[in-house]
Amino acid sequence: MTNTEAIKTHVGGCHCGAVRFEVDLDLSKGGAMCNCSICAKLGTLTTAVKPAAFRLLSGEDSLSSYEWGGKSGQRKFCKHCGVQCFGPGYLEQLGGAYVSINLNVLEDFDRATSKIGYWDGRHNNWQAGLRDTPWPIKA
């Protein structure tokens, strides 16, 4: 199977249903967790896609956003139920413009069987790449 054959359209959204989107991606690749202060608190499992692979279906008026630090990405969340669904951003290391997808909000995602990689964002150690085991969470 080629990479493009594994890419499928998946539907996701927030808890209350106000925000709905679809995204084209390969779920078999799994996602990543980060130990930075916000990711560790939210417990999101994410992957990044090019903006063309993401389509907001409904709820633009229900979205609020949070941006921090280097301003390289936003977190878009439902202002009604508080669930963080996705976030647009720009990082040269990720190939420029991207949309980070919270895999936990996809209707057909099974976290129990997903591959998980780990980023050391707490120490701004992006050059180390993804690890197979979690980084120690220390201040």
List of domains in the chain:
3-108 (2.170.150.70)
Query: Count of CB atoms within 10 A of residue 50's CB?
Result: 14
3-state helix, strand, coil in the chain (%, to 5): 20, 40, 35
Average pLDDT, the chain: 87
pLDDT recorded at residue 105:
96
In this predicted model, what pLDDT tens digit does every residue of 36-61 receive, in sequence order?
A: 888 888 888 999 999 999 999 999 99
pLDDT recorded at residue 5:
66
Q: Which residues contact 98 (CB under 8 A, 6 or more apart)?
A: 48, 49, 50, 51, 73, 88, 89, 90, 91
pTM for the predicted model, two decimal places: 0.85
Indicate whether 91 pLDDT > 50.
Answer: yes
